Every structure is written in C-alpha cells, then in structure tokens.
C-alpha cells in the first residue's frame, strides 16, 4: 500500500456505526477510523507510521491524516495533542460496503474510505474476460470455488493445486491451506519453460487485488485457442496464479475488520504479522518494519517465521520462477529495488518498472518499496527473478465495478512481463550424466552488497539472469564440480541462451606425510637450542601434563592425542603460578626435517596459550619455521584480559620452503613482571599434496 500523499475519503453516518460495534469486536479490540488534523499531513503521516499506527492515507489538502486505531491508540493520540475526530469504526466487509453504498450519494465531494479522490488514468480498451460467479467481492470460499470451477472447465490447461499439501509446508496459524492455479498447454507436465508467478493479497484488506489475479486466470483460460497472443503465452510459459496469499487475514476482513492488514498469528500482546515484511531479504535492517506486535508493519519474530512466507519460499525454490508480479493496493505505480539498501542494477530496474507501469495504464509512475523484507525483494535478491510489486487502484476497497475496471486497465501489463526477453538463460547439467544441477551463479565484478544469490534449479536445471545490457563474466559452480566462467556480451544479444556443463572435480592428490610427532616418544627435540633462554621456571618439556587453574583453566591435563604433549612446566605445583613460565623466554626446537622439492606442503599443529589478567603484550607464544629464512607461522600475545587454556588448531603453508631442510622453533615468554603464562603444543604434522 502507498501510505504517502494519497487521498483517502472517509465517510459514514455516525449513528450507523453505533448500532453495529459488536460485530467488529475481537481479541484485538474494536478499531475506529479517525481523522487527525495537522498542519503538515505528510510529516505527520510518516511520524505516525514510525510510531506503529495504521495510517490509511492523507487528505488531498494535506491538512489531515486518517488512521485505523484502537481505543487505547485513540486516547494516546489525544494525549499527544492531536485533534482527533472519530469518523467510523471497522466492521465486516459486507456491512462496510453497504455503508459505503448508502452514504455515497451524499458524499460526492468529501471523503470515503472505499472510494478515493485520486484521478483515475484513462481507461484501457475493453478486453474480454469471463464473468465472475457473482458481481461482488468474493470471500475466501468463493475464490477457492471459482478457482476449482475454472480448473474443471478447462482441465487441459488449468490445474488447481493445494500448495500446502504438495510442498509439505505448515498450514497457516488458523489451519488454512494456500492454493494456486497452474495454467499451461500441458498442465500436468513439468515442462522446460519459464515459470511465471502472479500473486495478490499478501495484505488482507487489499481485496481488489484478487479480482485482478482471478480475472487474469479467467482471461488466459477462456482466450486460449482463440486469442493468438494468449495462446502463445500459455504455450510458452508455465503461469502460476495465487489470488489470496493471506487467507486468515482475508477471512477476518469479511467477518470482523474490513481494514485488517496482517495475518492472524496471535501473540500474547496482539495479533498479526505483516507478511510483506517477513521475507529474509533485508529482514532486520533499518527499513524492515516494526518490532512491535501491535504495529501494522510488525515483521515477525524472525525472517520467514510465518507459514505463508515459508510456503512461498519453498514453492519458488521448486518452480524457480523467472518472472514475478505481486499485486497490492493502492497507488497506481510500480515498485522496484530495495527501500533503503543499495543494489547495483537499481537504475535499470527503475527503467523496467517504468515500462511495466506504462503498459499497466499508470503513465510510468514508479517508486521504491515501502520497506525492506518484501516479497518481490526476496524474489529478485535471492532467486534472480524479474520481480516487481504493482500498487493498483486508488483505494483498498473501491466499489466492485471499479475493481473490475482496474483489472481491465492493468491487463496489458501482464503481457509486458510475459514477453520480456530473459537476457541470459539456459541450463546447468552434469557433464557426464546430463542430469540437472543446482549450481550457483555469480556475476564477477558486480558489486552485490546484500548477499544476493542466483542459481540454477528445477527439474531441468534451468537458470535465468536479468541484468542491464553489458559484458559479464558469469561463474557457474556447484559443490564437488569444477567451476566454469563464461564471458557473455548482453549488449549484442539481449536474449542469450547458453547451456553449461559442469564436470566432477578431480579427487585431491593423495596426502604424503613428511613429518609427524605426537610426542608420545622422544623424537629429538632440543630445549634451549641456542643457549639463550632466560626462563627460570616453566621450561618446555615433553610430558603428561597436570592441570592448573586460576580464574579458569591455565594448563590442561588433556592432550589432543595420546597422553603426552609439549608443555611449559608439567607439574601443577601447590598454586597455578608455581611452574608457569617465569623470568623470560623458553624455547624448544625440532630435529632437522627434509622437505620435498615439489607439491603443496602444509604444516599443522594443535596448541594453546593461556595467561592471567596480569599479562601484557610482552608475553607471547611463537612458532617459527627456520630454513634458508625464518618465518613466523603463529604468534599470540598476552594481554590484560584473562585467557583460559583451550586447544586450537593451526595450519601454515610451507610450500615456500620446498626442497629445504627446516627446523621448527617453539618459544614462550613471560616478559611481564609476575604474570601467569602457560603454553602447550601437540600433534605436529607436515604433509605434501
């Protein structure tokens, strides 16, 4: 919904709502439609939204803001100094529509929640569509029945699918399933064709959007075989249409609160998650909605916390949608990109959105989304889809005839999306078996900063890349396979097809152990090899260590393997500091180790360096490789923060020493005054690959 600078006309006779307040009661409490007077409606609207209020819109004059509020919220607004006028209360949809119809003749120049004053664009040419079963908004049961009827009437091209059962995803919080129609020339076959998604009613009160998607399905089904353009689209795509993605909230709109937006997940402090703030892309960022359950933009307890979100993600990962249209109301504009996050293709996406807006009868109007964490953002950010949100109409719940006219207006936009060439598409398969692969796709050198992903998938390993014209290096990779990078020019061919074969990566070369010492037997290590050590206690020795503790373990009685290790003073003593390193440096050096002249050489060992809070950076554990040159493989310094003994692993590339004879030099030092320092090393190993 566009909650900024759009007119919302609100009208009703006060006496009409007083008699029906009981019907709107719920666990959420009765909500009222109020008008707040203000000198700057745009600023007040944003301030109220940031505070979690359900802002319905602003007056065309910019002097008032209209909201749906609870009793407590209405009182809070008054306490904050706002001038609040109660206009109406929320009610079951049918009752609200009746109020609208009865009040309409007397309110042609003032406001109505159902019919706004924004000038409508020029009407599109009439387009044929099979009529709905009833000339009025359908409740959830009516929509499901219409979907089933359409599938029964056109069984060769339309299929009714229970997504919750098919995908094995959880039902909604009130136990409902999510449904969709598949429309394709071979509807029972998963064909190697682009999958296209058209979805509506993530937000429950936007009841005009299912009219559009359901009529889209009817047009496609009834026009197949007679309309050449429709026939071509159905033959070359797998089109999926989901009219209601918030079945619990949509039902609540009909039974209780016509202005309800969220789903019906009940929490201890309120009800509902804004499903279009619950997707992982951008969830938890600054512009992702509210952390308060009572807010109309509550984003949920975690990314994808809601069954509806989980089902959409599972469905998208199975079908690998190439193109996505998500209908919302209201605003008559197309939303592109992120709300606050950067995207390298945002300028190009705005151009694409403008073309879609023009085709939909909205004169090229576009904007960025209302928040991050929205559905279409996840589709293009994580699935690589050509995905846009279209705000339709000038009201949430216009008269039904207006919703039908809007569906005629935006219908040509469907073809703009269906006919949009995919800049780069193809399949990724195993080069030996030719079976499809789930591969990762990367546009090398393009600065994606939000962890965006793309890949191949589905039954055929299909992939799609939507990007501006240009030259790209595209890397295809999969675990266990050798990656492939392709140089692709999308300037000369804006609809490039390229199939990719990945071959299993060769097994790693066998590992040759050049040297290993677990210190279970003496192997020629020399203490104080240069005769320059100054430590008076805690000198290096090979032994079975005894545990010490001071504000936590400082010397461990456990080793990595066996019972022995190299330790700075084995005995525990009466106190932890009795046999730690004191007085300066202690060192120990390995025997000479002859390294092979070729291959990749790697040193590995386990170690710990522990010290009390009386340590400083003058204390250290250091492991060096001494050959033609001396290189430090590990160095850890002391500090004034207590650090307990925990075994850790270290690896170091020795390839620079290939062909040399080297020694390993291990040093520990207590150069601070009176500090507690302990160190140990175990399982020293050098391998050649």
Domain that holds residue 207: 140-419
* Same domain, residue pair 204 and 282: yes
Residue 521's Cβ-count burial label (10 Å; 0-12, 13-18, 19+) is: exposed
**Residue 245, phi then psi, degrees to nearest 5:** -100, 5
487/497 Cα distance (integer angstroms)? 13
Closest CA relative to residue 220, chosen from 384, 67, 212, 70: 212
Residues facing residue 666 across a β-bridge: 588, 623
Could you tell me which residues are beta bridge partners of residue 678?
610
3-class DSSP assignment, residue 353:
helix
Looking at residue 682, which CATH number applies to its domain?
2.60.120.200
In this prediction, residue 23 has a pLDDT band, given cuts at 50, 70 and 90, of very low
Return mean pLDDT, the chain: 90
Cα–Cα distance measured from residue 429 to residue 436, given in angstroms and rounded to the nearest whole number: 4
118 belongs to a structural domain: no
Kind of pairing between the strands at 195-200 and 238-242: parallel
Tens of pLDDT, residues 245-298: 999 999 999 999 999 999 999 999 999 999 999 999 999 998 999 999 999 999
- 404 and 442 both lie in a single domain: no
User: Distance (Å, rounded) from C-alpha 181 to C-alpha 39?
Assistant: 48
Residues 6 or more apart whose CB falls under 8 angstroms from that of 241 comprise 180, 181, 183, 198, 199, 213, 214, 216, 217
Task: Kindly state the tokens that stand for 636.
Answer: 């850890």
Domain assignment present for 135: no
Tell me what pLDDT residue 211 has.
97
Ranges of beta strands (E only) in 90-237 are 158-162, 179-183, 195-200
Q: Indicate whether 144 pLDDT > 80.
A: yes
Query: Looking at per-residue confidence, does 324 or 100 come out higher?
Result: 324
Q: Do residue 522 and residue 390 come from a single domain?
A: no
455 and 415 in a common domain: no
pLDDT higher than 60, residue 15: no
* Count of domains forming the chain: 4
pLDDT for 296-324, tens place per residue? 999 999 999 999 999 999 999 999 999 99
Is the dihedral angle over the CA atoms 66, 69, 74, 78 positive or is it negative? negative
Q: Kindly state whether residues 315 and 464 are assigned to the same domain.
A: no
- The answer to whether residues 434 and 408 belong to one domain is no
Residues 591-612 have pLDDT tens digits of 999 999 999 999 999 999 999 9
Size of the chain in residues:
689
For residue 131, tell me if it sits in a domain: no
DSSP code at position 643: B
Q: What is the pLDDT of residue 633?
A: 97
Q: Are residues 373 and 436 in the same domain?
A: no
Where does a domain end: 419, 436, 465?
Answer: 419
What is the CATH number for 237?
Answer: 3.40.630.10
Q: Of 28, 73, 595, 613, which Cα lies nearest the Cα of 264?
A: 28
Lowest mean pLDDT across 120-129, 284-293, 538-547, 667-676: 120-129
pTM of this prediction? 0.73
Are residues 480 and 520 both part of a single domain?
no
Indicate the burial class of 347 (C-beta count within 10 angstroms; 0-12, 13-18, 19 or more): exposed
Looking at residue 17, what is its pLDDT?
Answer: 35
**Long-range contacts of 102-105, Cβ-Cβ distance < 8 Å, separation of 24 or more:** 102/16, 103/11, 103/12, 103/13, 103/16
627-651: per-residue pLDDT in tens? 999 999 999 999 999 999 999 999 9
For the CA atoms of 532, 538, 539, 545, the dihedral, rounded to the nearest 10 degrees, stands at -170
| Residue where the block lists tokens 């009765």 | 30
| Domain assignment present for 165 | yes
The reply to whether 2 falls in a domain is no
Average pLDDT over residues 214-227: 97
Residues 466 and 546 in one domain: no
Provide the total of helices (H) and of strands (E) in the chain, helices listed first: 13, 35
In a domain, residue 121? The reply is no
The 3-state secondary structure of 65-97, one letter per residue: EEEEEEHHHHHHHHHCCCEEEEEEECCCHHHHH
Distant-in-sequence, close-in-space partners of 610: CB < 8 Å, separation ≥ 6: 553, 554, 555, 643, 644, 645, 677, 678, 679
Q: Work out the pLDDT band at 104, boundaries 50, 70, 90.
A: low
Return all residues near 235 (Cβ < 8 A) that are at least 6 apart.
185
CATH code of residue 22 = 3.30.70.80
DSSP 481: B
């Amino acid at each position: 919904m566009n909650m900024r600078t759009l007119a919302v006309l609100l009208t009703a006779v006060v006496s009409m709502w007083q008699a029906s307040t009981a019907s709107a009661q719920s666990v959420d409490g009765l909500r009222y439609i109020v008008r707040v007077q203000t000198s700057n409606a745009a600023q007040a609207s944003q301030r109220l939204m940031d505070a979690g209020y359900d802002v319905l819109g602003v007056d065309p004059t910019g002097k008032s803001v209209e909201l749906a509020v609870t009793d407590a919220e209405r009182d809070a607004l008054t306490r904050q100094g706002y001038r609040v006028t109660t206009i109406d209360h929320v009610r079951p949809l049918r009752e609200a529509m009746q109020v609208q119809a009865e009040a309409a003749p007397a309110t042609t120049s003032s406001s109505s929640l159902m019919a706004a004053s924004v000038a409508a664009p020029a009407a599109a040419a009439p387009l044929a569509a099979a009529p709905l079963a009833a000339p009025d908004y359908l409740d959830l049961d009516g929509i499901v029945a219409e979907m089933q009827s359409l599938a029964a009437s056109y069984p060769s091209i339309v299929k009714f699918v229970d997504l919750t059962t098919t995908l094995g995803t959880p039902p909604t919080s009130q136990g409902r399933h999510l449904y969709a129609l598949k429309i394709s020339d071979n509807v029972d076959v998963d064909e190697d064709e682009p999958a296209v998604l058209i979805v509506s009613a993530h937000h429950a009160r936007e009841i005009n959007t299912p009219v559009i998607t359901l009529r889209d399905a009817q047009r496609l089904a009834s026009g197949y075989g007679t309309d050449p353009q429709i026939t071509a689209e159905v033959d070359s795509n797998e089109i999926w249409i989901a009219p209601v993605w918030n079945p619990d909230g949509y039902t609540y709109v009909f039974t209780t609160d016509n202005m309800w937006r969220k789903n019906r997940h009940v929490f201890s402090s309120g009800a509902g998650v804004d499903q279009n703030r619950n997707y992982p892309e951008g969830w938890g960022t600054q512009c992702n909605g509210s952390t308060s359950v009572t807010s109309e933009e509550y984003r949920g307890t975690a990314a994808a916390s809601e069954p509806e979100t989980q089902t959409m993600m599972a469905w998208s990962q199975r079908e690998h949608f190439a193109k996505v249209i998500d209908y919302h109301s209201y605003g008559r504009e197309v939303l592109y990109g992120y709300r606050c996050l950067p995207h390298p293709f945002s300028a190009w996406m705005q151009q694409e959105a403008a073309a879609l807006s023009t085709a939909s009868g909205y004169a090229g109007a576009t904007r960025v989304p209302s928040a991050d964490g929205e559905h279409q953002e996840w589709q293009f950010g994580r699935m690589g889809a050509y995905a846009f949100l279209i705000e339709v109409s000038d009201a949430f719940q216009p008269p039904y005839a207006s919703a039908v006219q809007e569906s005629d207006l935006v219908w040509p936009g469907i073809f703009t999306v269906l006919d949009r060439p995919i800049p780069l598409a193809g399949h990724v398969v195993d080069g030996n078996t030719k079976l499809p692969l789930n591969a990762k796709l990367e546009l090398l050198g393009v600065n994606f900063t939000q962890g965006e992903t793309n890949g191949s998938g589905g039954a055929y390993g299909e992939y799609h890349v939507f990007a501006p014209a240009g030259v790209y290096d595209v890397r295809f990779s999969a675990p266990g396979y050798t990656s492939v990078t392709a140089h692709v020019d999308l300037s000369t061919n804006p609809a490039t097809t390229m199939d990719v074969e990945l071959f299993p990566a060769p097994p790693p070369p066998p590992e040759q152990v050049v040297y290993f010492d677990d210190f279970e037997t003496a192997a020629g290590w020399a203490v104080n090899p240069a005769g320059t050590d100054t430590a008076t206690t805690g000198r290096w020795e090979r032994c079975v260590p005894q545990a010490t503790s001071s504000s936590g373990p400082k010397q461990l009685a456990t080793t990595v393997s066996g019972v022995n290790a190299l330790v700075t003073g084995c005995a525990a003593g009466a106190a932890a500091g009795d046999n730690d390193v004191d007085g300066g440096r202690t060192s120990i050096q390995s025997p000479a180790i002859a390294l092979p002249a070729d291959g990749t050489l790697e040193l590995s060992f386990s170690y710990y360096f522990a010290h009390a809070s009386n340590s400083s950076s003058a204390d250290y554990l250091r492991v060096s490789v001494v050959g033609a040159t001396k290189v430090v493989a590990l160095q850890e310094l002391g500090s004034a923060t207590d650090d307990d003994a925990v075994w850790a692993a270290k690896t170091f590339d020795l390839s620079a020493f290939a062909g040399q004879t080297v020694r390993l030099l291990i040093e520990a030092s207590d150069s601070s005054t009176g500090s507690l320092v302990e160190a140990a090393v175990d399982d020293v190993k050098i391998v050649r690959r």
